[in-house]
Structure formats: C-alpha cells, structure tokens
Amino acid sequence: MELLIGHSPDPDDAFMFYALKKGLVKAPFTVREFLIDIETLNKLAIHGRIDVTAVSTHAMAYIGGKYYILRVGASMGLKYGPVVVGNTAKPELVAVPGTYTTATLLVRLAMPNVKTVEIPFDKIMDAVRAGVVDAGVLIHEGQITYERYGLRKIIDLGEWWYEETKLPTPLGLDVVKASLGIDMAKAVKEALLESIKYAMSHREEALAYAMEFSRGLNMGDTDRFVRMYVNDYTMDMGVDGEKSIKVLLEMGHERGLLPEPQLLFI
C-alpha cells in the first residue's frame, strides 16, 4: 500500500523522516513523500486530502476525530518556542505565519489585544525589518538567527506557555488519517519511531540530509535546531506532552478562538 506522507521542508522534519524516506527501516507500506509548508499541510489535513502528515497542534481542533495523533514525532520545546520579535515593546500589528499554525494560536492567547496579519513564515523577518508590521512571530530557523539581523525579542511564546502551564509547548504533531484503520496507524507510528531512532544513532548521516533543508544554516546551527525539536518528547510525548496538547486546545476553545477539540491518540 502506498501512503501520501507530508512534512515541511525543514531540518527537524527531514531528520525525523530521513530513514523512512530512504527505505532504511521496514514498513508495511511504501512512501510517496510530499514536502510543503506547514500551513498548507494543515489545510490539506482539514480537507482530508493526505494520509499521513505533520500538522500544527492548533489544526487538531479542526481535524480531531478524522486523524489519529501519534505519540511519536511531536515537535515540543520545554521553556522555548516561537519568538515574537520587533522594534517596539508594545506592538499593535503582528505578522503570523498562518491561520492554523500553533504560533498564531499562542500569539492570540498571550497577546490578545494585538491585531494579526498573515505573512508567509519566511517573509516575516523581512516584514519586521522593513517596518511593514510592528512585530512578527518567527518559527523554524528564525528562532535562532533573528539576533544576527538586529531584531529584538519581545516574547518567547514557549517561555510564556511554560509560565502559564508548566508544560512543554506542543507546536507540531504527526497524524494518520483514521479511515486507514488503527492497524495501519500503529504501523506508521512504529515505522516513524524506528526512523527517528535511526537518525539519532546515525546523526551525522541524517544531519547531512537535513542540511538540504536548512535554508542557509551551517551545520552547527542545523544541529542546534534539530536538537531543539527532535528530543525526548519526539520519541514519546508522554503524559506531559499529551496534557499540553489538551490544555492548549481547551484554552483556545474556552477563549472562543477555536471549536471544541475531539482528540484520538495512539
């Protein structure tokens, strides 16, 4: 059976999926890989058009019940996450990287009085520097490079989240379409776990592949970024990881920002 598997063209996702893509781990399915930005993947999942994919945790409010959340493959940070940068301590207009991204939900929770405008994630830093917006939320590698471009941190949304909840920041998840059945979902989960284990034990090999998606980062920065989001929570999100997902979505629902979530974990 062939599965359409989507992830974003970023170093951490590439690192996790490397062995699976290259056929270095056994799986009872073949992989048709689809690489595109996370917001597009969110929308594809909302419309049920992809079998297995990385999604933003925020998007689970709209696809819960239709996709299983895998307890492996999550991108979570403890006391760190997307960074809001800008030139003023009290911004009014903040650029966000997409309606269904977790970064956008976190901004609306942490900074409820600001106005937001959607800008592609890789254009946000330029928009802030040009003064098009007062501030912007940086995801992906921008979290570790913004200071080099003279930008100032206003708030680390992962730090804010930890102060609020004492939980990791649940940014991204891997999900499997429920209509494929629980057995196939479990098979994907096991294959992805083996792929992550392979990358961990063959780090230089997997990092060399991840460098192809690093958008100008050197090897040291790529390794640093991968370590931020391929960690113990990626191997097994555990009780705290699962709780963080539920708390984030429940908080968003309570504040009228999203529908009541229905979550299926495996």
**CA trace torsion 13, 18, 263, 182 (10° rounding):** 170
Q: Residues within the annotated binding site for substrate?
A: 102-103
Q: What contacts 191, CB < 8 A, 6 or more positions away?
A: 20, 25, 26, 27, 29
Strand-pairing partners, residue 265, are 69
Tokens 């007062």 belong to: 134
Decide if 66 contacts 263 (C-beta within 8 A): no
Q: Take residue 74 and report the two structure tokens written for it.
A: 């999550």
Burial profile 114-145: b = 16 or more Cβ within 10 angstroms, e = fewer: bebeebebeebbebbbeeebbbbbbbbbbbbb
Q: Residues within the annotated binding site?
A: 102-103
Assign residue 231 a region (left: φ > 0; alpha: ψ between -120 and 50; beta: otherwise).
beta
Burial profile 1-22: b = 16 or more Cβ within 10 angstroms, e = fewer: eebebbbbebbbbbbbbbbbbe
Decide if 68 contacts 181 (C-beta within 8 A): no
Active site residues: 140
